Structure 1
Amino acid sequence: MKKVFFKTFGCRTNIYDTEVMASSLGAFERVMSEAEADIVVVNSCTVTNGADVGARGYVNQQNRLGKKVVLAGCGALSKGQELFDKGLVFGVLGHSERENIQSLLSRPAPFFEAGDLTSIDQKIVSEYEGKTKAFVKIQEGCDFRCSYCIIPLVRGNARSQEEEVILSQVKTLAKNGYGEVVLTGTNIGSYGKDKGSSLGRLVGKIGAVSGIRRVRLGSIEPVQIDASFREILSEPWLERHLHVALQHTSPQMLRLMRRRNTIEKDTELFWELREYGFALGTDFITGHPGETPQVWEDAYRRLEALPLTHLHCFTYSKRDGTPSSTMKPQIAGDIAKERLKQVTALIEAKNFAFRKAHEGVTLEVLVEEKEGNVCTGYDQFYNRVKIYTSKDLTKEWVSLTRHEAKETHNEAIF
């Protein structure tokens, strides 16, 4: 029996996609180490140049070790042809071909199956190897056309999974002991627009499933927090952390990026959500073309005024075929990196202040791992917690009434 190892790069959606492939292996055996594998499937990310470089470096490494390498994920669409033509990968497997992985890996000759960008997975994932929480993909693709983003070109337009399929999966996961589910997709806030439903209505039904203690959401857009979503903001099973993607806080930059949000409405929304007690995260890009010193100063000042606690920040990465790739003026890489450091330091300070202010709040922690006498997990505000204990609390829920905010995390004794 041939042995297969999956290397997953990128986002939570790729984690789900890997499990779809793993559950479709059939006669092949999944292993958790490259050293044991005959075949290495690289589930790649292509959101930035750095992601492409990382995946390619890994492909080269596995080739040197004599492994048969198959490229899957978003990089299969953007870089698959190039790597296949150069003989660096044995096969290329597009998004719509994930459930056909057994037949593809059984082929004696190299294969290139890019598939299409209109399908959505039918396979239900009911187990996650080595995971304490479960991921549920509720949709695929994105209808936004932000000027810097290549993802719609490699994931297609937004399309929603059937509600009954999602709820069936959540019920199965709950029966299998998963008390926390993470909803993922390319643009989850668009869920239901093609089904006459909405994200808020779907999440409300998921939260009502017996055994589900916490529902966590991937990134959503400010304009997608509608009336149906506001109806669930006080529900106890909704994680008290929301990741609302801004990408920038300068009105000028938001126009250049072809974003649908405005900083004025964003500011109102973030303070509204803070009143509900949420920790708030966002995405932010530094160094996008047009980010002059004056624009940056204005953006940073507006960022300072927002009640943020978490950040996914990265420097602009030029992607061929996107409108931003031809925009001027380009911003030097060292300047973009320095701005990234400034933003990161700002939000780290805000996060510490938030955790310090919540030292008297009981933290509900799902413990994910144990090393020595330290268990670690995440609380309802999506902050990392270290628990010093002699017990093995892995996969258990722990309520911490006493804890202390450290520089990068919370700590408690149990």
Structure 2
Amino acid sequence: MESSLQDSKDFGLENSCFEKSQDSNKKKYLVVESESEASIIVINSCTVTNKADREVRSYARKCTKEGKRVIFTGCGVKHLGKNLFKQNAVYSVFSHSHKEDLRAILDSKNRVNLVKEKNKNHVDSSIFPQIVGRVRAFIKIQEGCNFKCSYCVIPSVRGAARSFSERQILKQVEILAQNGVSEVILTGTNIGSYGLDTGSHIADLLLQIDEIKGIKRIRLGSLEPSQIDARFLGVLGELRSLEKHLHIAIQHTHPTMLKIMNRKNTFERDLELFCELSSRGMTLGTDFIVGHNGESESIFESALQNLQKLPLTHIHPFIYSPRLGTASAKNAEGLEIVRGDVAKKRLRLVQNMIEQKNLDFRMRNKDKILKVLIDGEKNYENNNVIESYITGLDEYFNRILVPLQSKFLDSIESVKKGSWIEVSQYDVKDYNIANNFRIL
């Protein structure tokens, strides 16, 4: 009898989306969209924050109580796997280096406990199986991180930086393109370190992917400012398909906090780099941590002033979450501890600032023609009324909404998930709402 399997439930970072695709090679198992239909659920966990740990524990226990067979993997295995298995909160558990054994784990008639890594520097022998019929595909180009940021547990979980071969990556991109995937997102633990161990460089990889027929947009995961060198900057103007958006993780803008966090970047260099990239027509996103030990009110106010100087349009802010075994958790003595309510207030200030910057950018550029990859149909509230739209992301990583109404009816019928459209007129609101478009 065929078992129903929900494609991995992900918690946390974008890198998990690649692993979700990788996990989908499960012949003899019927992959279902809804967890209510599934008899087996693979949970791909993240352990960046305490919140992620709490959520994944709760979800695993909930599914097990409902009678599902829960298979637990991802970064949370190191900290949570042993106890979840012992408490019967999950059926089986396996670490990153056992991902290629998923089929055998699914087929096993007994519970499987593979918490221990085979080798922390393991690299999967295959990137992922063929993906067909999806709007975009996530491709992991590397694994691990050589940085030693004081707050981060990931290097101890993922190991040192190591890269997949260019040949492997390019072959998979070609397969994706041949099967209708036109946007690829390059992911990894720290993608800017790609090629350090193989004598290659992410710039060289981008140039080769850019030449593959059928690929219309390349998106990059998070980069570190110290990794954006002259070689990377030199190819930006040569790439026809690179999205006009980069996510560059700065984490903070005050020198005291950058030192406490053991970061490699400085605000002065970040400002210079971001202004250079903005002048080339790129929109820019970043990560920012508030509430880390040592972030006094005066330091935060100064950091906020610095943040205002950066030409940002997107941000992923975090409230600091102490992780067991990290330098930040061990060395908090003597540093000011930020109360939770204060951290939440700071988070909102950061979010509001960048939301306004994003709106300002879209207002300044409202005459630009935008290319949009349609990724679905959703309902959004507009003037207190729930309306239906087809929706997608433009080249600046901003969402476009196309109303499902009579004036678009003839064109809408030809637009489906995976279609590319060109939007020439739109209203700038919380999202850009199209008034006119054509199908590409």
TM-score when normalising by structure 1: 0.96
Is 2:356 the counterpart of 1:349?
yes
Counterpart CA distance in 1 for 2:108 and 2:215 is 41
From 3, 19, 22, the counterpart of 1:20:
22
Residue 423 (structure 2) aligned to one of 381, 400, 411: 400
Q: Which amino acid aligns with 2:434?
A: E
The answer to whether the Cα contact below 8 Å between 1:217 and 1:242 also exists between their aligned partners in 2 is yes
| Contact kept in structure 2, 1:27 and 1:102, CA below 8 Å | no
Deviation at 1:128, TM superposition (A): 4.4
The 8 Å contact of residues 386 and 412 in structure 1, kept in 2 or not, is answered as no
CA deviations over 1:78-133 (Å, ceiling 9, x no partner): 21011112121111111111121111122222211133321122234354477311
- Change in Cα spacing, 1:141 to 1:286, as seen in structure 2 (3 Å) is same
Q: Which amino acid aligns with 1:412?
A: N
SS of the counterpart of 2:367?
coil
Q: Distance in 1 between matches of 2:140 and 2:86?
A: 32
Choose the corresponding residue for 1:358, options 355, 358, 365: 365
Distance 1:341 1:153, change over 3 A: same
Q: Which residue of 2 aligns with 1:333?
A: 340
CA pair 139-407 structure 1, distance change in 2 beyond 3 A = same
State the superposition RMSD in angstroms: 1.5
Equivalent-residue separation in structure 1 for 2:131 and 2:16 (angstroms): 13
Q: 1:412 to 1:128 in 2, by over 3 A?
A: farther
CA distance in 1, matches of 2:32, 2:308: 46
Q: Relative to structure 1, is the Cα distance of residues 28 and 324 closer, same or farther in structure 2, using a 3 angstrom cutoff?
A: same
List aligned pairs for 1:264-303, cutoff 5 A.
264-303=268-307
- Equivalent residue for 1:312? 316
Give the deviation of 1:147 after TM superposition: 0.3
Task: Give the structure 1 partner of residue 217 of structure 2.
Answer: 214
Alpha-carbon distance between aligned partners in 1 of 2:227 and 2:262, rounded to the nearest angstrom = 16
What are structure 2's unaligned runs of at least 5 residues?
A: 379-386
| Residue identity in the other structure for 2:128 | V
SS of equivalent residue, structure 2 residue 272: helix
CA–CA distance in structure 2, aligned partners of residues 409 and 76 of structure 1? 40
The whole-number CA distance in structure 2 between the counterparts of 1:130 and 1:256 is: 46
| C-alpha contact 2:401 2:431 (8 A) present in aligned 1 | no
Structure 1 residue 61: Cα displacement: 1.1
1:257 matched to 2:272: no
Contact 2:224 2:250 in 1 (8 A): yes
Aligned to 2:107: 106
Deviation at residue 407 of structure 1 after TM alignment: 2.5
Q: How far apart in 1 are the matches of 2:435 and 2:78?
A: 46
Matched, 1:387 2:408: no
> Match of 2:200?
197
SS of alignment partner, residue 250 of structure 2 = coil
Q: Within 1, Cα distance between the matches of 2:281 and 2:209? A: 21
How far does the alpha carbon of each residue in 1:320-351 deviate from its partner, in whole angstroms, 9 at most, with x for none? Answer: 10011131222111111100000000000000
Answer yes or no: is the 8 Å Cα contact 2:377–2:390 preserved in 1.
yes
SS in 2 for 1:233: helix
The answer to which of 363-372 and 153-162 deviates more is 363-372
- One-letter amino acid of the structure 2 residue matched with residue 95 of structure 1: H
CA distance in 2 between partners of 1:369 and 1:266 (Å) = 35
| Aligned-partner Cα distance in 2 for 1:314–1:2 | 38
- Structure 1: distance between partners of 2:70 and 2:11: 15
Cα deviation per residue 1:265-288 (whole Å; 9 max; x = unaligned)? 000000000010000000000000
1:29, distance to aligned residue in structure 2 (A):
2.7
Q: SS state of the match for residue 392, structure 2?
A: strand
Provide the C-alpha distance between the structure 1 equivalents of 2:389 and 2:171, rounded to a whole number of angstroms: 35
- Structure 2 partner of 1:184: 187
Report if aligned partners of 2:132, 2:176 keep a CA contact under 8 Å in 1. Answer: no
Matched, 1:152 2:171: no
